[in-house]
Amino acid sequence: MKKIALNINGEEYVVDINEDMRLIDLLRDKLHFTGTKEGCGEGECGACTVIMDGETVNSCMVLAFQAEGREIITIEGVGNGEALHPIQKAFLEEGAVQCGFCIPGMVLSAKALLDKKPAPTRNEIREGISGNLCRCTGYNKIVDAIDKASKYLKEEGETK
Amino acid sequence: MKLETVGKNIIRVDGLAKVTGKATYPQDLYMDNMLYGKTLRSTKPHANIKVDTKKAEKIPGVIKILTYRDVPYNHHGVLFKDHEVFCAKKVRSIGDPIAFVVATCEKTATKALEEIEVEYEELEAVFDPIKAMDEKAPKVHDKSNIIYKYQLRRGDIEEGFKQCDVIVEEEYKTSMVDHAFLQPEAGIAYLENDTVVVCVSTQYPHFDQLEIAEALKIPLDKVKVINPAVGGAFGGREDITMQIHLALATRLIGRPVKAIYTRQESFVAHSKRHPMIMRYKTGANRAGRLIAMEATIVGDTGAYASWAINILRKSGVHATGPYEIPNVKVDSYAVYTNNPFAGAMRGFGATQVPIAHEQQMDILAERLNIDPIRFRLENCFKKGSTTATGQILEESIPLERTIKEVEKQMKKSVVGGV
Amino acid sequence: MEINEVFKPSKVEEAIKLLDHYQETSKIIAGGTDLIISLREGKESASVIIDISSIKELKEITKREDWIEIGAGVTFTKVVNATMLQEKYKGLIDAAASVGSPQIRNAATVGGNICNASPAADFIPPLLALEAVLVIAGSNGIREIKLNDFITDKGKVALSKNELLVKVKFKELKRNQGLGFNKLGLRKALAISRICTSVYLEISEDSKCRDMRIANGSLGRHGLREKVVENYFKGKPLTSETIEIGSQLLEEEVNNRLQGRSSAEFKREAVKGVFTVALNKAIENSRL
């Protein structure tokens, strides 16, 4: 057992971890941030994507102790309380959600992309979500949604 | 009449929960006093087995190891009861469940799997469905490997081929496909008084309830199946995987039991799309009319029937494709082999046959020196057409329009034309 | 074997001390994109894990005299975005950008790619073509070794249990020198390369090939140079004719090497196209 401190969705956590625990195990089994999904356990599907210090990682490929002192954003930390993040709103409106299992990871990949590149081309969007598999939609509606989210974010920026 | 929803964009009812990560899939459930289950699966495609769990049972943290001895009625299956809950004497494919370890944590359960001793006495296996049809082939179950034959006859096939100017004979094969739904199988079972509750992602909750009740030999109203969010299925969750294991474990132990398959286990635990071997003989006259078609379709259902009968029937029914052919002979077979079992997957047998009938159309068009689109338009189903099964198509058949629209779009795209 | 202890040193010396103490029982983790899978599958075991991803000095890309140095802990995302590598080192950036997916590039490191020495490692061919040199730290100090000598077999490298790869360095490219990269995978993202090729090229004033170094991945037990083809090109003009002959030579080399493998028939044909594209990119990049 080992004690580590890390920041998840803006809050500080001090938790006991097992040395062989992965970040996904810490998030799900220990802290019950169950929005982070495990689809393959080997970095192929991206369902376990979280943002760590501003960059997306597969939380199944990070050992929990490596996250010591890091800032993690999970799907639970996207949006503001009851209000949806523009990406989530666009996913809903565009019908980009079917079974939903890929969605937390997709939303986080989209967020990491739009945080760095607010107005991506459709190709850049495809590249941005190329580490996330979806077996239902065929991706087009997800790309539409991220495109729409980028416009929402632009409008939001203009009104501020 | 004013329509309130038809034709409008409606936000799906579970969408909000899914975009916020709050939707609950079975792996997201945690209960007090919960145990973890892991399945021991066969590593051999065909073998007699002897299982010894004594050593594994002694590992601290192992609560119980279930085998066939614990199952009141050791059979299940959607059409035939040819699956065993746990293999008793023989395994029929790699991945067949042999035992289910219930332990206080996942790590202990995994460790216990390695300590279960399975003695395999390997038997000759059969992987080629054509060979499996031979009477002398190894028997996957104690009967013929051919479990179904569908026959379709229309007109006079011999006379039909005599009238053809061009006949094309080819064989086509399709491969095994996995659904690879993104959420691996997961479930949790617990007791509510004397009712067994199984919470699992499934496509068939009411039938799961029946199969659990049958296997446990308890009344149907003592089994409750809850289907929370399902992370994709595409046909791959129509057969039982962990449902009975979980129900039995919680009933015998009295504590909640949870199981999550890894992706690797998911691949061996659920069905596949039937690989098919399709021999086609199709003939047309010089005017470009299809006259006769003969097809033999063999579907490899692996070690278990699942929906093979319905699927190979569907392949047979759809064998002509959407074309009117006056003389038709189709035989389709479902055959057991020692391969992973095949079952439902999007299209349900109608997806494989176009690989054959459309290539036949292209080859015929080329031999007849007719444009492949004209050839299809000439023969495709229209209002009033009669299918090979004798159905007269009386209502909307927009195929002609669709083909023409595709042609238009193809001509528009300059690059590649694909 | 269970993991009993984990460490997160912040200095190379600390990491070396830990390695020296725990020897075979320990494993280095950086991005973790390979190690965690092999640990969980039981392909590798370690009771001690040493995470070097917090060591700052391993995460720098610098220029020292006429050498470019890339720290072993630099992620592929960082390579792709490195100001120092833009344009002139497009071959290197292309290789980094072809690794895995955004998530994997954010975690996986240059050092990890080298030390795992997978036959399909995307970043090894361009480094081989650049005749890269590795800087390795150990309890006895620092040593240097050519990448070509470092990789001894599939997954095997000349690194002692108490040593740490610190950085990889190569000579700065001049105006008439260029590096090209091309990869053939089954899909665009998350594809393990079927073939990846990198070409270093130096063009003389009379537009002939003064020097060429070709390195391939996924065409042998590890990334390797194609000396026969390199020698053919030296001193020759780069015309469609010589490129055609050169790629045929490469086809023969690959065919001989892959004898008996089911992929030989496909790869010997495909390598010609992959190489030609990489070479043309090298020509293009040599003009920058």
Closest residue in B to A87 (Cα–Cα)? B19
The answer to whether A130 contacts C101, with C-beta atoms less than 8 Å apart, is: yes
Q: How far apart are CA B241 and CA B85, in angstroms?
A: 9
Chains with ≥3 CB–CB distances under 8 Å to A:
B, C
CB pairs A-B closer than 8 Å = 97
Query: Any CB–CB contact under 8 A between B97 and chain A?
Result: no
A14/A66 same-domain check: yes
What range defines the domain where residue A93 resides? 86-159
Instruction: Let me know: does B292 contact B328? Beta carbons within 8 Å.
Output: yes
* Domain spanning C177-286, CATH class: alpha beta
Closest residue in B to A93 (Cα–Cα)? B11
A67/A109 same-domain check: no
Say if residue A82's pLDDT is above 80: no
Q: Which two tokens stand for residue B267?
A: 């691949």
Of A32, A92, A136, the CB nearest to B16: A92
Q: What is the mean pLDDT of residues B144-173?
A: 98
Confidence band for C190, pLDDT divided at 50, 70 and 90: confident
Q: What is the mean pLDDT of residues A10-32?
A: 97
How do residues B245-300 score in pLDDT, each as one tens digit?
A: 999 999 999 999 999 999 999 999 999 999 999 999 999 999 999 999 999 999 99
Say if residue B116's pLDDT is above 50: yes
Q: How far apart are CA C27 and CA C15, in angstroms?
A: 11
Whether ipTM > 0.95 holds is yes
- Which residues from B are below 8 Å from A104, CB to CB? 21
Confidence band for A17, pLDDT divided at 50, 70 and 90: very high
Say if residue B40's pLDDT is above 90: yes
How do residues A38-48 score in pLDDT, each as one tens digit?
A: 999 999 999 99
Q: Which two tokens stand for residue B5?
A: 């929803």
Decide: pTM greater than 0.90: yes
Check residue B317 and give its pLDDT: 98
Query: Any CB–CB contact under 8 A between B391 and chain A?
Result: no
Of A53, A77, A101, the domain-final residue? A77
Q: What is the mean pLDDT of residues B12-22?
A: 96
Q: What is the percent of chain C with per-residue pLDDT over 90, rounded to a whole number?
A: 90
Report chain B's mean pLDDT, rounded to a whole number. 96
How do residues B367-407 score in pLDDT, each as one tens digit?
A: 999 999 999 999 999 999 999 999 999 998 999 999 999 99
Confidence band for A125, pLDDT divided at 50, 70 and 90: very high
- Which residues from A are below 8 Å from B15, CB to CB? 91-92, 97
Closest CA to B304 of B244, B210, B238, B350: B238
- Number of folded domains that form chain A: 2
Report chain C's mean pLDDT, rounded to a whole number. 95
Q: What is the mean pLDDT of residues C116-141?
A: 96
Of A58, A77, A96, the domain-final residue? A77
Check residue C288 and give its pLDDT: 85
Query: Any CB–CB contact under 8 A between B32 and chain A?
Result: no
Q: What is the mean pLDDT of residues A53-61?
A: 98
Which residue in B18, B25, B32 has the most chain A C-beta atoms within 10 A of its own C-beta, making it the best mutation to test that interface?
A: B18
Instruction: Let me know: does A120 contact A150? Beta carbons within 8 Å.
Output: yes
Q: What is the mean pLDDT of residues C258-264?
A: 89
Q: What is the mean pLDDT of residues B26-47?
A: 98
Query: Any CB–CB contact under 8 A between C189 and chain A?
Result: yes
Phi, psi of B127 (to 5 degrees): -115, -15
Of A62, A68, A132, the CB nearest to C8: A68
A128/A155 same-domain check: yes
Check residue B279 and give its pLDDT: 98
The answer to whether B21 contacts A34, with C-beta atoms less than 8 Å apart, is: yes
H or E element at residue C207: none
A57/A117 same-domain check: no
Q: What is the mean pLDDT of residues C148-175?
A: 96
Confidence band for C10, pLDDT divided at 50, 70 and 90: very high
H or E element at residue C235: none
A90/A63 same-domain check: no
Within the 29-88 window of chain C, which residues sit less than 8 Å (CB to CB) from chain A?
29, 31-33, 36-37, 39-40, 49, 51, 53, 77
Instruction: Let me know: does A140 contact A94? Beta carbons within 8 Å.
Output: no
Distances, alpha carbon A63 to alpha carbons A66, A71, B265, C6, in Å: 5, 15, 23, 10
Q: How far apart are CA B233 and CA B207, in angstroms?
A: 16
Q: How far apart are CA C226 and CA C218, in angstroms?
A: 13
CATH for A118: 1.10.150.120
Instruction: Given CATH 3.30.465.10, say whether it is the number of domain C57-171.
Output: yes
Buried-exposed string B169-185: b where 16+ CB fall within 10 A, e elsewhere: eeebebebbbbbbbbbb
Distance from CA of B287 to the nearest CA of A (A): 41
CATH for A59: 3.10.20.30
Instruction: Let me know: does A77 contact A87? Beta carbons within 8 Å.
Output: no
A71/A27 same-domain check: yes
Q: Spell out the residues 6+ positions from residue C174 whose beta carbon is closer than 8 angstroms to its own.
A: none
Say if residue B46's pLDDT is above 50: yes
Extents of the domains making up chain B: 26-123+180-269, 129-177+272-412
The answer to whether C51 contacts A62, with C-beta atoms less than 8 Å apart, is: no
Check residue C189 and give its pLDDT: 86
Say if residue B418's pLDDT is above 70: no
Confidence band for B5, pLDDT divided at 50, 70 and 90: confident
Closest residue in A to C99 (Cα–Cα)? A131
Distance from CA of C8 to the nearest CA of A (A): 7
Closest CA to C171 of C136, C127, C214: C127
Of C8, C32, C103, the CB nearest to A131: C103
Distances, alpha carbon C172 to alpha carbons B81, C65, C78, in Å: 70, 9, 19
Q: What is the mean pLDDT of residues C225-236?
A: 96
Q: What is the mean pLDDT of residues B175-204?
A: 97
Q: Spell out the residues 6+ positions from residue C274 whose beta carbon is closer than 8 angstroms to its own.
A: C182, C183, C184, C195, C196, C197
Of B11, B232, B260, the CB nearest to A99: B232
Check residue B417 and give its pLDDT: 40
CATH-assigned architecture of domain B129-177+272-412: 2-Layer Sandwich (3.30)
Say if residue A79's pLDDT is above 90: no
CATH assignment, B26-123+180-269: 3.90.1170.50
Q: What is the percent of chain B with per-residue pLDDT over 70, rounded to a whole number?
A: 99
Q: Which two tokens stand for residue B198?
A: 């199984």
Of C32, C51, C102, the CB nearest to A131: C102
Q: Spell out the residues 6+ positions from residue B76 whose beta carbon is closer than 8 angstroms to its own.
A: B83, B85, B211, B214, B215, B240, B244
Of A49, A77, A105, the domain-final residue? A77
A138/A71 same-domain check: no
How do residues C105-117 score in pLDDT, each as one tens digit?
A: 999 999 999 999 9
DSSP state of C273: H
Distances, alpha carbon C151 to alpha carbons C28, C78, C98, C216, C223, in Å: 18, 24, 21, 14, 8
Check residue B415 and give its pLDDT: 55
Check residue B243 and give its pLDDT: 98
Instruction: Let me know: does B220 contact B249? Beta carbons within 8 Å.
Output: no
**Residue C171 bridge partners (DSSP):** C67
Confidence band for C2, pLDDT divided at 50, 70 and 90: confident
A92/A49 same-domain check: no
The answer to whether B27 contacts A36, with C-beta atoms less than 8 Å apart, is: no
Alpha helices in B232-343 (DSSP H): 243-253, 263-269, 308-317
A49/A113 same-domain check: no
Confidence band for B416, pLDDT divided at 50, 70 and 90: very low
Of C102, C107, C190, the CB nearest to A61: C107
How do residues B206-239 score in pLDDT, each as one tens digit?
A: 999 999 999 999 999 999 999 999 999 999 999 9
Q: How far apart are CA C125 and CA A68, in angstroms?
A: 34
User: How many CB atoms within 10 Å of residue C187?
Assistant: 7
Q: What is the CA radius of gyration of chain C?
A: 19
